[in-house]
A and B are shown apart, each in its own frame.
Chain A
Amino acid sequence: GAVVSQHPSWVICKSGTSVKIECRSLDFQATTMFWYRQFPKQSLMLMATSNEGSKATYEQGVEKDKFLINHASLTLSTLTVTSAHPEDSSFYICSALEGGQGNQPQHFGDGTRLSIL
């Protein structure tokens, strides 16, 4: 149980393109989802907390107009990287909290490797 699916797993696109990444909880409802970014051989950096039905909370230094988050249902959150540039190339990973309770494990997707040419 507690499976999180992330799509696409890999995307290459030209500079200036907008890219949408989906994060779905397959067998549970997730009031809260998180979006992380990970550079090679580094740890996960939290970008934003996504709450179903309300605006996302962004971490300091993360541009909300650059990284648009929508959490329209209890099983789906999307991250759109707008007008992507090479410096946005990274590994993006989402996670979901089952039931939205704190003090609980996060269930992670398998990430999206984004390469901007």
Chain B
Amino acid sequence: SQKIEQNSEALNIQEGKTATLTCNYTNYSPAYLQWYRQDPGRGPVFLLLIRENEKEKRKERLKVTFDTTLKQSLFHITASQPADSATYLCALGGYSSASKIIFGSGTRLSIRP
């Protein structure tokens, strides 16, 4: 069956450290993968998109990798800050239609001062 799994429901790390979130999928062949941030009671906010032929993407303190052999994406936040605390969602796209995406269950990240 098709699955998208994010490494843990919750992750708690010290401010200043690098947060690493994992997204694994089975029985999908996505053309691209996206990462979103969602704060409580709000809609998701787009962070990064990485295509199947790309290994790595960076944006300021954020880095995403995409390994289509392992069927895994890693999302890193370097020099983490308490303001980075939120739920992070990975989403796979381009597997059935160009624009439709399917979300993972999310990881709730807490950065403690």
Give me the interface of A with B, judged by CB distance under 8 Å: 4, 6, 32, 34, 42-46, 49, 93, 95, 97, 100-111, 113
The answer for the CA separation of A106 and B98 in the assembled complex, in Å, is 12
The answer for the CA separation of A18 and B32 in the assembled complex, in Å, is 37
The answer for the CA separation of A84 and B59 in the assembled complex, in Å, is 43
A-B contact count (CB 8 A): 63
9 closest cross-chain pairs (CB), A and B: A102-B98, A108-B43, A105-B46, A102-B99, A43-B103, A43-B105, A44-B103, A110-B43, A108-B44
The answer for the CA separation of A67 and B104 in the assembled complex, in Å, is 24
Apart from A93-B44, A106-B46, A108-B44, what are 16 other A-B pairs with CB-CB below 8 Å? A4-B43, A6-B43, A32-B99, A34-B100, A43-B89, A44-B103, A49-B99, A101-B98, A101-B99, A102-B98, A103-B93, A103-B94, A104-B49, A106-B34, A108-B36, A108-B45
Nearest Cβ in chain B — how far from A88, in angstroms? 19
Query: What are 7 A-to-B residue pairs whose CB atoms are below 8 Å?
Result: A43-B89, A43-B103, A44-B44, A102-B94, A103-B94, A108-B45, A109-B43
The answer for the CA separation of A102 and B31 in the assembled complex, in Å, is 10
Nearest Cβ in chain B — how far from A99, in angstroms? 10
Q: Is the CB of B100 within 8 A of A95?
A: no
Give per-residue flags for B35-50: 1 if the beta carbon is below 8 A from chain A beta carbons, else 0: 0100001111110010
The answer for the CA separation of A93 and B44 in the assembled complex, in Å, is 9
Nearest Cβ in chain B — how far from A97, in angstroms? 6
Q: Is the CB of A104 within 8 A of B99?
A: yes
A93-B43 CB under 8 A given contacts A103-B93, A106-B101: yes
Q: Is the CB of B34 within 8 A of A43?
A: no
Give per-residue flags for B11-44: 1 if the beta carbon is below 8 A from chain A beta carbons, else 0: 0000000000000000000011010100001111
Looking at the complex, which one of A44, A45, A106, A111 makes contact with B41 (CB distance below 8 Å)? A111
Chain A residues near B94: list those with CB within 8 A: 102-103
